Structure 1
Amino acid sequence: MRNLGVKILIIAAVFTVFVMLPKIADADGYSLEINPGIIKIKASPPALVKTGIRIKNLSDNPIELGYILKPFVASEKNSGQIKYLLYSDYTSKNFNFLQRIKVLEDNQAISKIILSPKQEKNLTILIDLPQEEEQADHYFSIVFLTQSQEKLDSNYSRIIEGIGTNVLVSIGTNQYKALIRDFSTSVFVSQGPVKFNLKIENIGKNFITTSGYIIIDNIFGQTVGKIDIKPANILGKSTLEILKDDVVWQEKFLLGIYTAKLYLNYDDSTSLYREFRFITIPIKILAILTIAGFIIIFIKNRSKTH
């Protein structure tokens, strides 16, 4: 995780799980920071799961906050974004799970908090998992809002200002299984930088965290480049397509045959590997050299005739 803040607007239709950052929300007269930006929990019932969050009032004004819990699923765009469920789409599974979540301050359940100017508070998220809890994943955001916003109906869909943390929960026996669906670039590349396509599918029912790197070897087997792949969370039964601009070999002058090797890890134990070759021919440079060669030959031949 990188320890810095980003400005956000929460309770939009989608929200990025890919980014694991503390968040700052600014509005008229207040500014807040929350840490961590994402929480990952793996538990076996029965269990009383506790995890901490810190929220800080960065402004010079006191503020009163309530909170709401918003379940989400993976977006269909395969971009690492999420989609919040409308209240009308909640299942009994959603309702039952959310009812077992409490926010504690000093070991007391609370429905709101008051932060003085520059004050920071440590809160606890408590999740009660009974013995009969179904083995499944649950994904939700805990979003802190000003009291006037907190009273809004759960079906409210307009973007409002707030600050929150995403929580990923896996209950029971974890089943991890991922596949590399695409790792490629153009077969013939005329110039660098080279952008790669990368698509990873999580075919298991539990969320996974991926990380890895790409090694570039030349025709002689020498390593000439390396690309680090940012860690990413992929929800169960979903696909992540990483943008080309995030997987780039920055080398500009290229000539010859290269091999790209992808080393991908998930959940610290399982590894995936794929490789392919691509050919680079600097067409523009060759064209310029060819034209220059014809010009030189033409000048020499003309000088011989005089």
Structure 2
Amino acid sequence: MSRFFNLWFLFLVFFFSHGLTVQAQSSVGISLHPATIEETMNLGQSKKFTITVNNLSDQDQSYYLYKRDIVGASDSGVPIFAEENIDRTEFGASLWVVFETVTIDIPAHGNTSFSFTITVPNDASTGTHFAGIFVSRQSQKLQQSGVAVGYDVANIISIRVAGEVEEKATIRHFSTDNYIYDTPEVTFNIKIENNGNTLLRPTGPLIINNMFGKQVGMVIFNSSLAGIFPGSTREFEVNWVKEDLGLGSYEAIISFSFGEDGYKQTISSSVTFLVLPMNIIIPVLSFLLMLLIVTYFIIKNYTDRELALHTAIIGNRRLVRSRHSGSWIALFSLAITFLIIIIFMVLLLVVFAKWL
């Protein structure tokens, strides 16, 4: 059996959902209510909890109960459970749990409840402690033998021990999936590390400003209040779509807060990206290039005709001076053309700025 095991992502993801009141359902015929238990308790305090198990199958079933510590979490936020008596951490709470029974029988499409007591030791460390309460079709002995075939569904327990806790977080990574975009449809990637000893639920605005400093968009980061396990990192993805046209450089600023009310902390970071709508830029540049080429040939044709006229009237000595004069005329005309192009591009940028 592997050192750590993950059980059915469908219900495990609920661990980091805030305020769950719905049932965590499994396609294999069990649902638990509540899906999570979050409680603040004092040192030495005991409290009784009850979980209801629904048998969604068409047959009577017997189920076994067991518990596990949570020893960490993946970058996507999926909890990692330890095997029994292995890899206990300071954040574990399975030893605090005492079942009133370890087996339950449920008729087809029926339900039953079981109770357990959580007692916080007097020497427990402050911060958040975690465990999973599992309902299984197989006993632990069969599971440990490696021949069990069945499924497990878990309720996640989060116990915050009252006292001074350390709430500390670091932004490990904040970027976009690309640097240049054709359209203002951007995906932001944020990786946050929890350096404290309690569960954090960071949330806050992600503001997008254009190159003129004007705010053009805002999305709420982690609006679902997904949590980050102590001592672990978690990756988040935020999408922003701007319905209007976009052009130029943009800056995204994320400012999220975390911690208990009255002790909120805020961390900020920023990233820049470009929006270059090539379906507009390429035709405009092509037009300007054609304008430049046409202007060049018009000036060249005009200069050649002037030189030919001077050659016929004045002669070879004056021709040299006329050629020099024609060159200066061509350069001056090209400079005027470039100036017109620059003014045109500035005006185009100003027009775009109304939609930026």
TM-score of the aligned structures, taking structure 2 as reference length = 0.66
CA contact (8 A) 1:56 1:119 kept: yes
Partner of residue 129, structure 1: 120
Post-superposition Cα deviations, 1:68-111, rounded to whole Å, max 9, x if no partner, equal 11212224x5331222223362449799x5343134xxxxx121
Partner of residue 39, structure 2: 41
The alpha-carbon deviation at position 237 of structure 1 amounts to 1.5
CA contact (8 A) 2:199 2:227 kept: yes
Q: Secondary structure at the match of 1:39?
A: strand
Question: In the alignment, does 2:160 pair up with 1:170?
Answer: yes
Write the distance in 2 (CA, Å) between the matches of 1:291 and 1:141: 64
> Which amino acid is 1:241 matched to?
E
Partner of residue 290, structure 1: 285
Partner of residue 278, structure 1: 272
Structure 1 pair 50/211, CA: closer, same or farther in 2 (3 Å)? farther
CA contact (8 A) 1:264 1:272 kept: yes
CA contact (8 A) 1:88 1:155 kept: no
What CA RMSD, in Å, does the superposition of the two structures yield over aligned residues?
Answer: 3.6
CA contact (8 A) 2:199 2:229 kept: yes
Partner of residue 102, structure 1: 98
Write the distance in 2 (CA, Å) between the matches of 1:190 and 1:155: 57
Write the distance in 1 (CA, Å) between the matches of 2:142 and 2:238: 41
Q: Secondary structure at the match of 2:285?
A: helix
Runs of 5+ unmatched residues, structure 2: 1-5, 302-356
CA contact (8 A) 1:257 1:277 kept: no
Which has a greater percent of strand?
Answer: 1
Partner of residue 5, structure 1: none
Write the distance in 2 (CA, Å) between the matches of 1:125 and 1:197: 40
Q: Secondary structure at the match of 2:196?
A: coil
Structure 1 pair 164/215, CA: closer, same or farther in 2 (3 Å)? same
> Which amino acid is 1:204 matched to?
G
> Which amino acid is 2:158 matched to?
L
Write the distance in 1 (CA, Å) between the matches of 2:283 and 2:116: 65
> Which amino acid is 1:23 matched to?
A
Write the distance in 1 (CA, Å) between the matches of 2:51 and 2:256: 30
The alpha-carbon deviation at position 24 of structure 1 amounts to 1.9
> Which amino acid is 1:79 matched to?
S
Which has a greater percent of helix?
Answer: 2
Partner of residue 82, structure 2: 85
Structure 1 pair 62/159, CA: closer, same or farther in 2 (3 Å)? closer
- Which of structures 1 and 2 has the larger relative contact order (alpha carbons within 8 angstroms, sep 6+)? 1
> Which amino acid is 2:159 matched to?
V
Structure 1 pair 154/292, CA: closer, same or farther in 2 (3 Å)? farther
The alpha-carbon deviation at position 203 of structure 1 amounts to 0.9
Q: Secondary structure at the match of 1:89?
A: coil
The alpha-carbon deviation at position 256 of structure 1 amounts to 2.8
Structure 1 pair 289/86, CA: closer, same or farther in 2 (3 Å)? same
What is the aligned-residue identity percentage?
A: 19
